[in-house]
Amino acid sequence: MPYRVELLDPARHDRAGFRSTVPALTSYLQQYARKDAERHLAATFVMVEESAPARIVGYYTLSNFTVELAELPAEQAQRLPRYPLLPATLMGRLARDVGCPGTGKLLLMDALLRAYTQTRASGSVAVVGEAKDEAARAFYSKYGFLQPGIEPDRFFLPMGVIGKLGAPSS
Ligand SMILES: CC(C)(COP(=O)(O)OP(=O)(O)OC[C@H]1O[C@@H](n2cnc3c(N)ncnc32)[C@H](O)[C@@H]1OP(=O)(O)O)[C@@H](O)C(=O)NCCC(=O)NCCS
């Protein structure tokens, strides 16, 4: 099924129709995503079907972030300068609708390639995911995110790894 991913537009996208298995991720999209975009805290990207462009299949958020060198996976940290803080990209939330199983991987890949593409305009050494529960931890681990252990819920995927996943779309 052809999908596209675009910035959340409350005038066009049906936020009320979206349901995640995690209630906090449903309410974020419905109540906070627009405000966070207006305040430049987080950009929300929604995935829609080409044939039903108002219905939100899933979404993710991206924000600029900083990490300490010691937080990063050791192998990556060894190759970076010893700056006190390093630029990263926070993927703060990622969820698909309960009625759209199998779309999580597409959402994740779009988020990763978007984050990678943005490094041409603003540096970032890794995508950081925050796992709120065991299922999220398992999902991130499956896709190669590393959890160095300093912050137990924080998972890292180095930008160099993402660059090898596939050609960014733009
Ligand atoms: C996590 C989530 C996005 C996955 O979406 P999905 O549509 O079920 O994922 P997909 O079917 O595309 O799964 C892709 C792969 O990940 C696996 N997977 C899905 N959820 C998983 C989990 N919790 N643990 C381990 N693997 C998982 C699938 O088995 C599949 O593997 P395969 O390609 O080898 O068959 C979805 O379950 C969701 O929205 N969960 C609630 C929010 C959440 O936990 N977000 C993550 C962090 S904020």
The pLDDT value given to residue 170: 47
Look at the chain and report how many structural domains it folds into.
Answer: 1
Q: 3 CB less than 6 Å from ligand 1? A: no
Rounded distance from Cα 125 to ligand 1 centre (Å): 24
Let me know if residue 147 belongs to a domain: yes
Rounded distance from Cα 104 to ligand 1 centre (Å): 5
The pLDDT value given to residue 148: 84
In Å, the largest CA–CA distance within the chain is 49
Q: 61 CB less than 6 Å from ligand 1? A: no
Let me know if residue 153 belongs to a domain: yes
What is the rounded distance in angstroms from the CA atom of residue 146 to the CA atom of residue 91? 14
118-127 confidence digits (pLDDT tens): 999 999 999 9
Let me know if residue 78 belongs to a domain: yes
Q: 142 CB less than 6 Å from ligand 1? A: yes
Using DSSP, state whether 25 is helix, strand or coil: helix
| Protein residue closest via CA to atom 16 of ligand 1 | 139
Let me know if residue 169 belongs to a domain: no
Q: Which of 88, 170, 72 is nearest to 124 (CA)?
A: 88
The pLDDT value given to residue 151: 85
- Tokens of residue 128, six digits: 């950081």
The pLDDT value given to residue 141: 93
Which atom belonging to ligand 1 lies closest to the Cα atom of 135? 23
pTM above 0.85, yes or no: yes
Range of the domain at 12: 3-163
CATH number at residue 132: 3.40.630.30
Let me know if residue 112 belongs to a domain: yes
Let me know if residue 170 belongs to a domain: no
The pLDDT value given to residue 84: 87
What is the rounded distance in angstroms from the CA atom of residue 104 to the CA atom of residue 22? 14
Q: 59 CB less than 6 Å from ligand 1? A: no
Let me know if residue 86 belongs to a domain: yes
- Which residue ranges of the chain lie beneath pLDDT 70? 167-170
2-17 confidence digits (pLDDT tens): 999 999 999 999 999 9
